[in-house]
Structure formats: C-alpha cells, structure tokens
Structure 1
C-alpha cells in the first residue's frame, strides 16, 4: 500500500480527478487530494489558467507544497498537468519521496535540481497532445525517465490533454483504464 499525494490540473479538483483517486483507493492505497483552487472548478483549461494567473502561479505551487507539510515524508507524489508542478517539486526536494507519477506534463529536472537517486518516476501522456509535445514536456519527460534509476514514459495514441479525467470532454476511457492499470502496478510495494 502506498500513500499518494495527488494534485489536480488547471480545471480544479474535478469529479474526474476524484474518481481517479478513488480508483487508487479501491486498490488499498491512501490518496490525498488537496484542493489548490479552494473549491473552484473550471470547464476549460483557459478558464482555469486565467484563475491561476489571477492568484499567481507561484501561490498555486506553494499551496501544493503546504499541502504536504502535515503528511508523512514517505509519499508518492502525483499530478495531472498543472499539478505536476508541486508534485515534481516535492519529489525532487522533499526527502523521503517514494516515487512520482506525472500525467500530461513534465518539467525539466533542472527546475528543482537533479532528479533524486532512488526515486522512480512514471509519466503518462498522449503522443500528439499539443501541450505535452509542442511545449517541450515530452523532452523533459524523456530526460526525467533517463535520469531516474527506475523510469517509465507511456505515450498513448491521441491528441487530448487531461485524457484520464472522466469528467472532461477530453476523457479517453480506453487510455485512462490503461493508465490506472499501469499506475497500480507501479504503486505495488511503494
């Protein structure tokens, strides 16, 4: 059983993010889903990002870091898109990280220093997702996987961002089921 800190994407803590967390809980894992948007959800990425800009990108990231303060150090850090920012930061800078799972995004490791030894990483995205491919996240993902002692990058056929969130129009049930299957296998023994 793993203890997971899962951060939501720019649409907020949606029912789809909650459902993803529930899938992990159903397999026996403890999953924390902090709400970085204080109850707000948005129907589109641009609307959510407008809120992020209003509050401040740094403040949203700090809310994620603060969400970990009361939790044990031995966590798996996970995030969807925007949520990868605090997840990756914590995985790279907070001692005790067990592993990291990133969906739809990855940052250059240099953003937070070197990737820590002994922290496995698993990254999931669609192979034609313009946010992931065109904005350079795919290169960051490949570098993170190469830097980790145990790293996996899974690319799914399609062009949708947030494809594993069942509450959004971008949801792809077949790909999302495979993500859950792979994440659950990855979490075994963590």
Structure 2
C-alpha cells in the first residue's frame, strides 16, 4: 500500500476526478484528495482556469502545501493538470517523496527553486497534441530527470483520464491507470 496525495485539476473535484482516485483506492492504496477550491467546481477547463487565476496560482500551491502538513514525508505526490503544481512543488521541496505522478502537466524544475530530488521517480502523462499540457516542457523534464518516464498518448484531449470530462478517452485512461498502478506497485 502506497500513500498518495492527489490534487484535482482546474475544474475542481469533479465526479470523474473522484472516481479516478477510487480506482487507486480499490487497488489498495491510501489516497488523500484535498479540495483546493472549497467545494467549487466548474463546467469547463477555461472556467476553472479563470477561477484559479482569480485565486492566484501561488495561493493554489500554498493551499496544496498546507494539506501535506499532517501527512508522512514518505508519500507519492500526484496531480491532474493544475494539481500538478502543488504536487511537483511538494516533490521538489519537501524531503522524503517516494515519487510523483504528474498527469496532463508539469513545469520546469526551476519554478520551485530546487532541483528534482535525485532518485525520486516520476511519471508524466499527456496527450501529444494537448494545447494545455505544454508537451515540450514535459519532454525537457523527462530528459532532465534521470528517473522520469514520459507517456504521450495519441490525441489532443486535456483531462482524458477524468471520466466526467468532455476530453475523456477510455482506452488512453485505462492505459494511464495501468501504468500508474504499476508505478505505485514498484514503490511498495
């Protein structure tokens, strides 16, 4: 059993996001899903991003960091899109991360003022033509981080692993789930 701190995407804690977390739980993992939006959800990525911009990305990251305060250091940090920001920040700045699962997003390691921790594994998952994912950044991260795996799926959907999203792609989501479960099993 691996303990995971999973952050939601810009649309908030959608039913699909919560269903995704349940799949990890059903596989025997302990999954924390903090709500960084105080219950708000949005119908589109654009609406969710507008909300995140109004709150401020630094505040979103701060809220994410605060949720880790009572959790063990030996944990996997994971995030969907916007949620990759606090997940990546925690992985880079909080000692002891077991690994990271960054779905649909990632930012240069310089964003958080510290290098990627040596030996800490990470998987990046995105669709190859996703305008939101900044695939070139993910490719650079996968070259920079020796323990990184980058999985690019055919298509352009952003939240393709969230079954409540218009971007949902069942075959790609199933493959992503299988790959993340294999990753988590390696950490046990």
TM-score range, shorter chain: over 0.9
Alignment-derived partner of residue 7 in structure 1:
7
Q: Which residue of 2 aligns with 1:83?
A: 83
What is the CA deviation profile of residues 139-164 of structure 1, one whole-angstrom value per residue up to 9, with x for unaligned ones? 22223222333211000000100100
SS at match of 1:61: helix
Tell me, what secondary structure is at the counterpart of 2:12? Answer: coil
Match of 2:174 in 1: 177
8 Å Cα contact 1:81/1:105 also seen in 2: yes
Report the Cα distance in structure 2 between the residues aligned to 1:126 and 1:54, rounded to whole angstroms: 27
Q: Which moved more, 1:55-64 or 1:99-108?
A: 55-64
Measure, in 2, the Cα distance between the counterparts of 1:48 and 1:31: 23
> How much has 1:138 moved relative to structure 2?
1.9
Q: By how many angstroms is 1:169 displaced?
A: 1.0
Structure 2 SS opposite 1:130: coil
Report the Cα offset of residue 12 of structure 1: 0.2
TM-score normalised to structure 1 length: 0.95
Residue 17 of structure 2 corresponds to residue 17 of structure 1 = yes
2:141 corresponds in structure 1 to: 144
Separation in structure 2 between the aligned mates of residue 140 and residue 127 of structure 1, nearest angstrom: 12
- Quote how far apart the aligned CAs of 1:39 are: 0.4
Q: Check the 8 A contact 1:80/1:102 in 2, yes or no.
A: yes
Partners in 1 of 2:9 and 2:39 — Cα distance? Answer: 13
CA distance in 1, matches of 2:148, 2:104: 16
Q: In structure 1, what is the equivalent of residue 117 of structure 2?
A: 116
- For residue 94 of structure 2, what is the aligned residue in structure 1? 94
Q: TM-score w.r.t. structure 2 length?
A: 0.95
SS in structure 1 opposite 2:67? helix
Compute the displacement of 1:53 (Å). Answer: 2.0
Q: Secondary structure at the match of 2:136?
A: helix
Unaligned residue ranges in structure 2 (runs of 5+): none
Q: Give the structure 2 partner of residue 40 of structure 1.
A: 40
Deviation at 1:165, TM superposition (A): 0.4
Unmatched runs of 5 consecutive residues or more in structure 1? none
Q: CA RMSD in A?
A: 1.0
